[in-house]
């Protein structure tokens, strides 16, 4: 049996071996970072070492990082911190932003390329009497489209607003600089760049007052109480360090992705690659196979040992038409036929070849079946 091919890095990246080693050693060492004895001081030192490593990846100060249980908590934390302000979000945000924003705020449209409509943002800001909180993702998890965050920040700050950036998909794939982006808050998640699941961070600009998410022992400078997930934080720190060291490697990933897309289009000339005319993450391809449901494509490739997805994973494990693509004006039937292939640092040319072979085989089967059906119908 051939080895499985993993091309779903945007859902979760494989945990790096050095991360597993560091976490195992930390769990064996033990210690509460709030304790003053040697074991406690050692745990505290490892937490702060990780904080510094993550700050280097994110382009922020170490003291601006608040550890959370993951990206969803970080996004919820940011939106809850300014409940008294109007809320603006884009229509293509992740469910961890759409969910807490369900009963408040305004949705901002995107262009057909998946970029935030800056004119709509400006108009919305002009219509508000109170400066808002605005949440915009840096890079979309389904199409990989990268937003012009620095330009967005300038527009928002001119009106006195606060900007939260969901950088969960971007960190570790492209250079991220919190300061240069002009963000006031930024969310990160360890498992997107080779760390463990269940740990993340919210970066909060120095001097920005926010209420605590959890009250209790005063951990994380009083903003999120509770004993820290030391092993998870250490793992996130090691993953951040490795991701920063290997950022240039994504040039190779981008070249593989681009070559793969050319061959996919050669197989199916009517297929569309969504977001390809805008800046994108180097690893992400979102392509449709007209007439073939996303779920069928995922299942067919999975039977061949290839893991891909149809947009964002939902808790039920079911596939649904992408809200991102429909927000970009894609008809529902095509949005329901889209597939996301997301590469990573361990992806090989052999992985790509196997994916192409499987996808082409499905395309040929469905095309042949369609031709037989059409011919039979014409004879009736």
Question: What residues contact residue 250 under an 8 Å CB cut-off, 6+ apart?
Answer: 173, 174, 282, 283, 345
Under DSSP, is residue 188 helix (H, G, I), strand (E, B) or coil?
Answer: strand
pLDDT at 257: 98
Q: Provide the pLDDT for residue 377.
A: 45
Global pTM reads 0.93
- pLDDT value at position 1? 61
Tokens 């067919």 correspond to what residue?
300
| Whole-number pLDDT of residue 375 | 46
Question: What whole-number distance in Å separates Cα of residue 99 and Cα of residue 94?
Answer: 9
- Distance between CA atoms of residues 50 and 162, nearest Å: 27
Active site residues: 314
Strands in the chain per DSSP E: 5-6, 65-68, 87-90, 106-108, 133-137, 162-166, 185-189, 200-204, 284-288, 306-307, 338-342
Structural domains in the chain plus CATH codes: 5-13+248-374 (3.90.1150.10), 17-245 (3.40.640.10)
What pLDDT, on the 0 to 100 scale, is given for residue 369? 57
Residues of the chain with pLDDT under 50: 315-316, 371, 373-380
pLDDT on residue 226:
86
The pLDDT of residue 380 is: 45
**Given the DSSP bridges, would you call strands 87-90 and 106-108 parallel, antiparallel or unpaired?**
parallel
Distance, in Å, from the CA atom of 81 to the CA atom of 211, rounded to the nearest integer, reads 6
């Amino acid at each position: 049996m051939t080895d499985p091919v993993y091309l779903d890095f945007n859902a979760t990246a494989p945990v790096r071996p050095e991360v597993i080693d560091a976490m195992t050693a930390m769990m064996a060492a033990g210690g509460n970072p709030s304790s003053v004895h040697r074991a406690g001081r050692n745990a505290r030192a490892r937490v702060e070492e990780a904080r510094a490593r993550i700050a280097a990846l994110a382009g922020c100060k170490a003291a601006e990082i608040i550890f959370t249980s993951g990206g969803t908590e970080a996004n919820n934390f940011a939106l809850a911190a300014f409940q008294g302000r109007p809320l603006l979000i884009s229509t293509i945000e992740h469910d961890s932003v759409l969910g807490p924003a369900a009963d408040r705020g305004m949705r901002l449209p995107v262009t057909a390329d998946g970029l935030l409509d800056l004119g709509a943002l400006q108009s919305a800001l002009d219509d508000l009497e109170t400066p808002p909180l605005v949440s915009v993702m840096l890079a979309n998890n389904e199409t990989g489209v990268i937003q012009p965050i620095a330009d967005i920040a300038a527009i928002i700050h001119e009106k006195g607003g606060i900007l939260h950036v969901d950088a969960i998909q971007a960190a570790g794939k492209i250079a991220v600089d919190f300061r240069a982006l002009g963000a006031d808050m930024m969310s990160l998640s360890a498992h997107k760049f080779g760390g463990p699941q269940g740990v993340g961070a919210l970066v909060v600009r120095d001097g920005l007052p926010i209420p605590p998410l959890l009250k209790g022992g005063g951990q994380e400078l009083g903003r999120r109480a509770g004993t820290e997930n030391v092993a998870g934080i250490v793992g996130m720190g090691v993953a951040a360090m490795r991701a920063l060291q290997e950022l240039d490697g994504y040039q190779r990933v981008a070249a593989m992705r681009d070559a793969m897309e050319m061959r996919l289009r050669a197989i199916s000339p009517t297929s569309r690659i969504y977001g390809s005319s805008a800046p994108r993450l180097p690893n992400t391809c979102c392509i449709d196979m007209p007439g073939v449901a996303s779920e069928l494509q995922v299942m067919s490739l999975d039977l061949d040992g290839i893991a891909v997805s149809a947009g964002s994973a939902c808790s039920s494990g079911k596939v649904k038409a992408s809200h991102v693509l429909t927000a970009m004006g894609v008809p529902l039937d095509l949005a329901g036929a889209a597939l996301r292939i997301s590469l990573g640092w361990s992806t090989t040319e052999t992985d790509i070849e196997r994916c192409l072979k499987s996808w082409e085989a499905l395309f040929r089967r469905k095309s042949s079946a369609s031709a037989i059906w059409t011919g039979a119908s014409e004879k009736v």
